[in-house]
Amino acid sequence: MTPLEAQIADHRAAVDEFVAVARSIDAGTWKTPRAEGAWSPAQIAEHLAVLYEYNGAVIAGTAPSPIPRLLRPTVHWFVQMVFFKPTLKAGRFTRKGRAPSIFQPSASPPGSSEVTARLDAAVRTVERAVMSRPPAVRDSIAHPIFGTVATVDWLRLQTIHVHHHRAQLPG
C-alpha cells in the first residue's frame, strides 16, 4: 500500500465513523445545538458535506480562491506556517476558529440520512478524484487557500478535521 493509499484508508475510516455516529443520532438531538451559539449535529454534518463538495472542486482545479492573485503567495505561506503545518504536526486543531462563510451550514439542515448521504457521496467523489489523477500530479494539490501542498498532507488535514467534528457529536 502506498502512503497515499494508506492515508485514504485512514481518511475513509474517519469518515465512516463520523457517518455511522451521525446516523445514530435521534431526530430530537439532530437539530439541537450542542451549546449556545454552537452548531447542531445536523449543521456539523452539513458543514462537512459543503466542505467536501468544495474539495471536489479543489481536486478538479476549479475551486474559487477568495484571495486576490497578487496576495496569494504571501497568504499561502502565512496559512501554511500558522495553520496547516502546525495542525499536521499536532495531529489536531491547535486554534479555535470559525469556518469561513463559504463552509457555513444552513440554519436548518435536512434529516440525518439526507445529510450523511450527501457527505458520503462528496467524500467518495473526492477520494476517487485523488486516485484518478495522473501520476505526474497525484502527489500535490494546488489549493486555493493553502497553496501547493502534498496530497497526503492535505488528506491528513481532512482526516483531522473529521475527527475534530466527530468529537463534537454525542455518543
Section 71-87 average pLDDT = 96
| Model pLDDT, residue 96 | 82
| Model pLDDT, residue 98 | 85
Total domains present in the chain? 1
Q: Please state, in angstroms and as integers, the Cα–Cα distance from residue 116 to each residue in 16, 19, 96, 104, following that order.
A: 10, 6, 25, 16
Q: At residue 101, does pLDDT exceed 90? A: no
For 49-72, how does the pLDDT look when each residue is reduced to its tens digit (9 = 90+)? Answer: 999 999 999 999 999 898 999 999
Q: Please state, in angstroms and as integers, the Cα–Cα distance from residue 166 to each residue in 18, 86, 169, following that order.
A: 5, 20, 5
Non-local CB neighbours of 141 within 8 Å, separated by 6+ positions: 58, 59, 148, 149, 150, 151, 154
**Domain membership flag for residue 171:** no
Q: At residue 123, does pLDDT exceed 90? A: yes
Which strand (E) or helix (H) includes residue 140?
Answer: strand 140-143
Containing structural domain, residue 79 = 3-166
| Model pLDDT, residue 162 | 98
Q: Where are the beta strands (DSSP E) in 45-139?
A: none
Biggest CA pair distance of the chain: 49
As a whole number of angstroms, the distance between CA 152 and CA 139 comes to 7
Q: What's the whole-model pTM score?
A: 0.95
Q: At residue 95, does pLDDT exceed 90? A: no
Backbone phi, psi, residue 113, to 5°: -65, -40
Q: At residue 171, does pLDDT exceed 90? A: no
- Residue 169 near residue 44 (C-beta atoms within 8 A): yes
- CATH number, domain of 82, equals 1.20.120.450
